[in-house]
Chains A and B, each alone.
Chain A
Amino acid sequence: MNSHESICKLVTLAAADALSHEEMSRVEQHAETCPECRRELEVLRLYSRGLRELTPPVAPAGLLQRTRARLEQERAARAERRWHDLTLSLLALFSWASGIVFWVAARFVTGEVWKVFGTNVAVFGTWSLLCAVLVWTTAGVAVVVLRNRSESARRIL
């Protein structure tokens, strides 16, 4: 590849001011003696200038206000989600604590044998399983209810 060909490849980037000082000097020196490259550089610089001077599109009226309103809405939704998470965590904790307390009390009252549908739920493992099913079912229902409430509140807004 001769000098002219290698410089030709750099002319577009030179017009976009995207070359190093050294490369730019090479292009400019070559353009001084090569009418073809000089013309190419001039034309492409017109494009660069034209792009820099394009009329900027006008931002729609109220863009800022609408953006702030949306951010407020998002912040409120995030705060609500955090509150729901906290509520659910506390409920789950309370459920487990009350389940254990109830198990201890039930064992004390029933004398360690408390049959439900033929199964002795006074055994810790069975009781834990029962509690887990109850707690997670309740939590699942709570999540669905809270989410539906949030969705309908958002639709109203």
Chain B
Amino acid sequence: MILAATMLPESISCVDNAIARFRRGEPDALDAVIPEYQFRLYRFLLRLVQEPALAEDLFQQTWVRVIENASRYKAHYRFESWLFSIARNLAIDHFRRMRNVSIDAPDERGDAPVERMAAPDRDPLDSVLDFERGSILAAALGELPVIHREVLALRFEEGMSLGEIAEVAGIPLSTVKSRLQRALENLRERVGTRLSPGGRS
């Protein structure tokens, strides 16, 4: 699992310790936590905003917000969910400011159904995994609306449970489920478009 790959057991206890100190009102304790989350948080933000420089800026802003809001951090709230929800909200604020679009409204494209399959008995993803492992999938993921990228990144890259995703995104569990379902279907459509004759791949 990704979490296990990025956080070794000894570092987890170290993080727990630092978070406990942070809860007791020692903001400096976060210096030990930042390295543990740097790759996951940066990856999540990059998936959302898709611009490395902006992702880095939001990454830094997230930690600034964490310190500023340390007094509001509730002990019963999981640190990870809290951290990712701050990052998520900063990214959403950015989109609202820059593009003036409603991010929370699910993307209901009125597109005609696309031709999904390059060959009738073979799903396009079979080819993707065999030949261009992940690259087309990543590109298709990048085309999805931000709320779909968010739910897929949290579920599959961060390995979060549906309850944790609901906490991070601030939405009901039922919405997480429907959003996850729609996101996967949408992704499949996009991969199909890329692999169909005349597609972008």
- Could you say which residues of chain B place their CB within 8 Å of the CB of A54? 134, 137-138, 141, 156-157
Selected contact of B52 from candidates A49, A50, A60, CB within 8 Å: A60
Expressed in whole angstroms, the Cα–Cα distance for A55 and B137 within the complex equals 10
A71 at the interface (CB under 8 A from B): yes
Say yes or no for B152: interface residue by CB 8 A criterion. Answer: yes
Interface SS, B side: helix
Q: How far is the CA of A16 from the CA of B148 in the complex (A)?
A: 14
Q: A46-B125, A66-B56 are in contact. Are A52 and B67 (CB under 8 A)?
A: no
A68 sits at the interface (CB 8 A): yes
* Interface status of A5 (Cβ within 8 A of chain B): no
Residue of A nearest to B2 (CB): A52
Residues of B in contact with A, size category: 35 or more
Residues A47 and B188 in contact, CB atoms below 8 Å apart: yes
Q: Bound state CA distance, A12 and B183, in angstroms?
A: 10
Chain A stretch 18-54: residues in CB contact (< 8 A) with chain B: 18, 43-44, 46-54
Q: Please, which residues of chain B bring their CB within 8 A of the CB of A43?
A: 123, 125-126, 188
User: Is A59 in contact with B134, judged by CB distance below 8 angstroms?
Assistant: no
Binary CB contact string for chain B from 10 to 45 against chain A (1 if under 8 A, 0 otherwise): 000000000000000001001100110011001100
Determine whether the beta carbon of B43 is less than 8 Å from that of A12.
Answer: no
Closest residue of B by beta carbon distance from A57 = B46
Q: In the complex, are the beta carbons of A13 and B181 less than 8 A apart?
A: yes
Extra contacts besides A57-B42, A57-B52 (9): CB < 8 Å: A43-B125, A46-B126, A47-B137, A49-B129, A51-B187, A54-B156, A55-B138, A56-B2, A71-B67
8 A–B contacts, CB within 8 A, in A order: A44-B188, A47-B184, A50-B133, A52-B157, A59-B43, A60-B52, A67-B60, A71-B64
